[in-house]
Chains A and B, each alone.
Chain A
């Protein structure tokens, strides 16, 4: 039986090494660097494929040390800035007005999204780490292939837009025969509105002349060099500013020919043709362009798309125009979605709240541990019971956290906190059962082994009832993952307890208390 104790010890040591608890660590990590921003131009990037404790941390901005996310938010990045990480030094220059035009930037956004530096390798869920979650539902039920395409297209669209630290999941949820499909997008940074805007548009682009479709989004290749395209002019009308943008595209030969054929039929009126080319996005007219007369009947593959943005001032009009342009470019590059999506759930969680939550959780655990230990001591009047109880309960949680560090299937979110509460509560209960059974005075005729066996029987029945209850959740619960995560984490946690920690505890107190028994 002794091997169980060694096994537990070895597992705990491996766990501690892998988890790498470093609660003293401060600073912030780069969660994301947005494309076409001063930060990206300066060479910054997010190293998302590294182990959490090895990621690059920002330690100083403009001479001010950065210890918390709040420090970073307070730093002023609108002028020339120096950002120092533990490995490198970055010089950021804000964009000039011209660059704002060309690089389609949002003005004073330096482009860095941060989160608190991980103090361990434990994977935390969104509710604790901070970030945003969007749950979307397609307007109609899709078949397997379409649904998969939808997911891929969304991911591609978000990548093209410049967001890299995102996860896009497809979830099929069947509840008593009623099937629903959801797309769940989790974003590390906190900009769900941009993402919402981007994914709720189906993105079907059509160009028509006289109500006849000449070409669609799939006929277009967007020229990727962002030096071309930008604001062409701004004007003021009725107290509002309107800025026009423009970017070049390539048409397929077939589409170019179709355009040539269509324009051939038109009459010439002055410098232009009698009908404009109309651009529709998801059946909404976004622009109307007159076709210059010299294009009549010509097969030309290089054309440009333009549109406009409005605002109360020149700068806001420019910003709106640029972000609209960037949006359309993204939609054209990534293609349209098989179905339109509606938002059914939107969460934004600040990383600061999560950090305080963890600190508080530790406090609660500590206080509870002290109180429970005191109570246990009063009952058994020996530390030889209290200490093994504490250590084995502690060991169980470490093992669970180890799993949370190495596999993406277990991560610590609110569901996991619930599981940990169950694990600890059940763990202490079971250990009390074992202790009482082994120390009981009325069983003189049973050997130590015999008593242990009775205790373990009882424990196993209790384990079985809870596990079966969790299995029931897995079968009938469905849900958008959270109940399933809770059920699985609880089953895993309790199994660690019952099969490894409990027997180890029994062995430990056997050797410590053998004389009591005699």
Chain B
């Protein structure tokens, strides 16, 4: 059964490798994490800005995303490293946008680089702290190690799946990776607790008990996130939910196949030693 998670892992590692080859980074960052200007407008104009943009700013890049509200286009976000004032003026002119339908965010590359590094460090630190707690709970290297391995894999797979989409990582998405740590460790702890501490009933029954609860937990969250993705009209919330969904899907596989499998192997070995 272990071939499923391994397969998934290989796909996502492959996606990340490809991403790295093409852009020099494992994950593609949006302007909020790289520096530049993001303009959000509400409009139903179908005008394509790209050709006009390239005429005025031949050296700069532009990323356009549609804002959807239940499937209908209600606006756009434009990201660019073009000079802010001219860029905003161009958009306002082309789409006849009024002040109240416009939001602009701009950030210097030095600041956003710093910010990005900080969040990455926080992610790493959070992970380490979490691992410490896990170890203290089980006081045994192998079960704790398996959990930590599973959580790492969750994040790696989520990154890979993200790379397969056309999304660019913003602050929200990065924070969502942090949230994955918290969410995914819950199911692993549930599994490990049940498997280790219910000595009196057969291994398989312990597993099914844990799985009933655990899959229920993940199931409700998957449903909520999927609906949220469809109904939300906010870029940032969409990305947060998408990252969480990827992490959760990875978690379902990693907890109930990988973690369970490894734990079973460990317990059987321990049982033999007795």
Which chain B residues in 78-134 approach chain A with CB under 8 Å?
A: 84, 98-108, 110-111, 114-115, 117-119, 121-122, 124-130, 132-134
State whether A352 and B100 are in contact (beta carbons under 8 Å apart), knowing that A372-B220, A426-B182 are contacts in the complex: yes
B179 contacts the other chain (CB 8 A): yes
Contact partners of A356 in chain B: CB under 8 A: 233
Which chain A residues in 448-491 approach chain B with CB under 8 Å?
A: 458, 461-462, 464-466, 468-473, 475-480, 482-483, 486
State whether A429 and B130 are in contact (beta carbons under 8 Å apart), knowing that A175-B121, A353-B40, A476-B125 are contacts in the complex: no
A344/B107 in contact, CB under 8 A: yes
- In the complex, what distance in Å separates the CA atom of A243 from the CA atom of B223? 66
- In the complex, what distance in Å separates the CA atom of A350 from the CA atom of B111? 23
State whether A479 and B119 are in contact (beta carbons under 8 Å apart), knowing that A421-B240, A442-B201 are contacts in the complex: yes
Chain B: CB-nearest residue to A424: B224
Contact partners of B133 in chain A: CB under 8 A: 461, 464-465, 468
B219 contacts the other chain (CB 8 A): yes
Interface string of A138-166 (1 = CB under 8 A from B): 00000000000000000000000000000
Q: Interface stretch among A19-27, A264-272, A410-418?
A: A410-418
Contact partners of A347 in chain B: CB under 8 A: 103-106
B60 contacts the other chain (CB 8 A): no
A348 contacts the other chain (CB 8 A): yes
Chain A: CB-nearest residue to B105: A347
Contact partners of A375 in chain B: CB under 8 A: 219-220, 223
A363 contacts the other chain (CB 8 A): yes
- In the complex, what distance in Å separates the CA atom of A320 from the CA atom of B204? 81
Report which of A414, A433, A469 forms a contact with B190, defined as CB distance below 8 A. A433
A368 contacts the other chain (CB 8 A): yes
B236 contacts the other chain (CB 8 A): yes
B103/A348 in contact, CB under 8 A: yes
How many chain B residues sit at the interface, stated as a range, is: 35 or more
B232 contacts the other chain (CB 8 A): yes
Contact partners of B107 in chain A: CB under 8 A: 344-345
Which chain B residues in 172-213 approach chain A with CB under 8 Å?
A: 172, 175-176, 178-179, 181-183, 185-186, 189-190, 193, 201, 205, 209, 212-213
B257 contacts the other chain (CB 8 A): no
- In the complex, what distance in Å separates the CA atom of A175 from the CA atom of B120? 12
- In the complex, what distance in Å separates the CA atom of A442 from the CA atom of B111? 56
Chain A: CB-nearest residue to B226: A371
B221 contacts the other chain (CB 8 A): yes
A494 → chain B closest CB, angstroms = 9
Contact partners of B189 in chain A: CB under 8 A: 458, 461-462, 465
B42 contacts the other chain (CB 8 A): yes
Report which of B100, B108, B118, B244 forms a contact with A478, defined as CB distance below 8 A. B118
- In the complex, what distance in Å separates the CA atom of A124 from the CA atom of B186? 31
- In the complex, what distance in Å separates the CA atom of A428 from the CA atom of B121? 30
B45 contacts the other chain (CB 8 A): no
Which chain A residues in 355-392 approach chain B with CB under 8 Å?
A: 356-357, 360-361, 363-364, 367-368, 371-372, 375-376, 379
B250 → chain A closest CB, angstroms = 16
Contact partners of A464 in chain B: CB under 8 A: 133
Contact partners of A421 in chain B: CB under 8 A: 179, 240-241, 244
State whether A357 and B234 are in contact (beta carbons under 8 Å apart), knowing that A349-B103, A371-B227, A477-B121 are contacts in the complex: yes
Chain B: CB-nearest residue to A414: B236
- In the complex, what distance in Å separates the CA atom of A69 from the CA atom of B193? 54
B137 contacts the other chain (CB 8 A): yes
A109 contacts the other chain (CB 8 A): no
Chain A: CB-nearest residue to B107: A345
A422 contacts the other chain (CB 8 A): yes
Contact partners of A483 in chain B: CB under 8 A: 118-119, 122, 175
A69 → chain B closest CB, angstroms = 6
A432/B220 in contact, CB under 8 A: yes
Chain A: CB-nearest residue to B223: A371
B156 contacts the other chain (CB 8 A): no
A466/B182 in contact, CB under 8 A: yes
- In the complex, what distance in Å separates the CA atom of A176 from the CA atom of B231? 40
Query: In this complex, which of A137, A472, A486 has the most chain B Cβ atoms within 10 angstroms of its Cβ?
Result: A472
A61 → chain B closest CB, angstroms = 16
Chain A: CB-nearest residue to B221: A425
A436 contacts the other chain (CB 8 A): yes
Contact partners of B124 in chain A: CB under 8 A: 476
B137 → chain A closest CB, angstroms = 5
B130/A465 in contact, CB under 8 A: yes
B171 contacts the other chain (CB 8 A): yes
B228 contacts the other chain (CB 8 A): yes
- In the complex, what distance in Å separates the CA atom of A95 from the CA atom of B24? 59
Contact partners of A517 in chain B: CB under 8 A: none
Report which of B125, B193, B205, B237 forms a contact with A475, defined as CB distance below 8 A. B125
A135 contacts the other chain (CB 8 A): yes
Contact partners of B220 in chain A: CB under 8 A: 372, 375-376, 428-429, 432
Q: Across chains A and B, which 7 residue pairs bring their CB atoms closest together, nearest first? A: A469-B126, A477-B122, A472-B125, A466-B182, A368-B224, A472-B126, A476-B125
Q: A371-B227, A436-B213, A461-B193 are in contact. List 5 more A-B contacts (CB 8 A).
A: A375-B220, A414-B236, A462-B182, A469-B126, A469-B129
